[in-house]
Chains A and B, each alone.
Chain A
Amino acid sequence: MKQQLKIVVNGEPYDLFVEPKTLLVQVIREMLGLKGTHQACDSSSCAACTVILDGMAVKSCSVLALQANGKEVLTIEGLADGTKLHPIQQAFIDNWAFQCGFCTSGQIMAAKALLDENPNPTREEIQEQMDGHICRCTGYNMINEAIRDAAKRLQSEKSAQSGKGAA
Chain B
Amino acid sequence: MKEYSIIGKPTPNVDGPAKVTGEAAYTIDMTLPNMLYGKLLRSPYPHANILSIDTSKAEELPGVKAIITGKDTPGGKWGLWRRFRELSDQQALATDKVRFIGDPVAAVAATTEEIAEKALDLIEVEYEPLPAVFDPIEAIKDDAPMVHEDFPSNINATRHIEWGDVDKGFAEADYVREDRFVLEAAHPCAMEVHNSLASYDKGTGRLTVWTSTGSPYFVQQNLAEALKLREGDIRVIKPHVGGHYGGKNSTMPDAVNAAILSMKTGRPVKIVYNRDEEFTTTEHRTAQNMALKIGLKKDGTIVAFEVKTMTNGGAYTGLGATTLYLTGTFITMPYKIPNYRYDGVRTYTNIVWGTSIRGFGAVPAKYCSETQLDRAAKDLGIDPLEIRRKNAVIPGYEAPGQYKFESCGIQPCIEKMAVRVKEKWPKLEKDEGIGYCAFAYMSGGIFNWIDTPYAYSSAHVKVNWDGTVDLYSQAADVGQGHNTVAAMICAEELGIGIEDIRLHMGDTAHAYTDLGAWGSRETLMNGNAIKDAAAQVKQKLIDIARLKLGENIAYDLVAKNKRIFLELRPERGLSYYDLVKDAIRANDGVPLTGTGHYTPHNKGMISPAYGMGIMAMKAKVDRETGHVTVQDVLVVHDSGQIINPLGARGQVEGSIHMGLGYGLCEEMPMDQGMLLNPEFVDYKILRTRDMPEIEILDVPTYEPNGPFGAKEAAEATIAPAAPCVANAVYQATGAEFYSNVLKPEKVLKAIREAEKKQKASKATGK
Residues of chain A whose beta carbon lies under 8 Å from any beta carbon of chain B? 34-38, 40-43, 45-46, 48, 75-77, 79-80, 85, 89-90, 92-94, 96, 98-105, 108, 126-128, 130-144
Stretch from B238-246, B290-298, B596-604 that touches the partner: B238-246
Across the interface, which residues of B come within 8 angstroms of A43, CB to CB?
A: 275, 679-681
Which residue of chain A has its CB nearest to the CB of B243? A100
Given A40-B275, A43-B681, A136-B658; A104-B19 close (CB under 8 Å): yes
B688 in contact (CB, < 8 A): yes
CB < 8 Å neighbour of B689 from A35, A79, A100, A128: A128
Alpha-carbon gap, A100 to B18, bound state (A)? 11
Cross-chain contact A76 with B21 (CB below 8 angstroms)? yes
B480 in contact (CB, < 8 A): yes
CB < 8 Å neighbour of B657 from A42, A92, A132, A140: A140
23 contacts between A and B (CB under 8 A): A35-B25, A42-B275, A76-B21, A77-B21, A80-B21, A85-B21, A89-B20, A92-B16, A93-B13, A96-B13, A98-B19, A99-B650, A100-B241, A101-B20, A102-B242, A102-B243, A127-B688, A131-B689, A136-B189, A138-B654, A138-B657, A139-B655, A141-B653
Alpha-carbon gap, A43 to B649, bound state (A)? 31
Cross-chain contact A36 with B275 (CB below 8 angstroms)? no
Cross-chain contact B656 with A139 (CB below 8 angstroms)? yes
Cross-chain contact A101 with B479 (CB below 8 angstroms)? yes
Cross-chain contact B688 with A144 (CB below 8 angstroms)? yes
Cross-chain contact B653 with A46 (CB below 8 angstroms)? no
B511 in contact (CB, < 8 A): no
Given A37-B22, A41-B679; A102-B688 close (CB under 8 Å): no
Alpha-carbon gap, A141 to B649, bound state (A)? 10
Q: Which 3 A-B pairs have the closest CB atoms?
A: A36-B22, A100-B479, A102-B242
Across the interface, which residues of A come within 8 angstroms of B658, CB to CB?
A: 136
Alpha-carbon gap, A143 to B24, bound state (A)? 19
Which residue of chain A has its CB nearest to the CB of B683? A45
B693 in contact (CB, < 8 A): yes
Cross-chain contact B191 with A48 (CB below 8 angstroms)? yes
Alpha-carbon gap, A132 to B28, bound state (A)? 22
Interface residues of B in 1-47 (CB under 8 A from A): 12-13, 15-26, 28-29
Given A35-B25, A101-B19; A45-B688 close (CB under 8 Å): no
Given A40-B191, A98-B19; A134-B680 close (CB under 8 Å): yes
> What is the size, in residues, of chain B's interface with A at 8 Å between Cβ atoms?
55
Cross-chain contact B20 with A93 (CB below 8 angstroms)? yes
Cross-chain contact A46 with B680 (CB below 8 angstroms)? yes
Cross-chain contact A136 with B245 (CB below 8 angstroms)? yes
Given A43-B679, A93-B13; A101-B190 close (CB under 8 Å): no
Alpha-carbon gap, A101 to B657, bound state (A)? 17
Across the interface, which residues of A come within 8 angstroms of B654, CB to CB?
A: 99, 136-139
Given A96-B13, A100-B240, A127-B689; A40-B192 close (CB under 8 Å): yes
Given A42-B275, A43-B679, A101-B242; A130-B688 close (CB under 8 Å): yes
Given A41-B275, A93-B12, A94-B12; A85-B17 close (CB under 8 Å): yes
Across the interface, which residues of B come within 8 angstroms of A104, CB to CB?
A: 19-20
Cross-chain contact A38 with B17 (CB below 8 angstroms)? no
Across the interface, which residues of B come within 8 angstroms of A132, CB to CB?
A: 687
Alpha-carbon gap, A136 to B242, bound state (A)? 10
Given A100-B243, A100-B478; A136-B653 close (CB under 8 Å): no
Given A35-B25, A76-B21, A108-B20; A138-B650 close (CB under 8 Å): yes
Alpha-carbon gap, A143 to B22, bound state (A)? 17
Across the interface, which residues of B come within 8 angstroms of A41, CB to CB?
A: 275, 679-680
Given A48-B191, A139-B691, A140-B691; A96-B25 close (CB under 8 Å): no
Alpha-carbon gap, A43 to B681, bound state (A)? 7
The interface centre, meaning the residue of A42, A99, A105, A130 with most chain B CB atoms within 10 A of its CB, is A99
Alpha-carbon gap, A131 to B689, bound state (A)? 6
Across the interface, which residues of A come within 8 angstroms of B693, CB to CB?
A: 141
Cross-chain contact B691 with A141 (CB below 8 angstroms)? yes
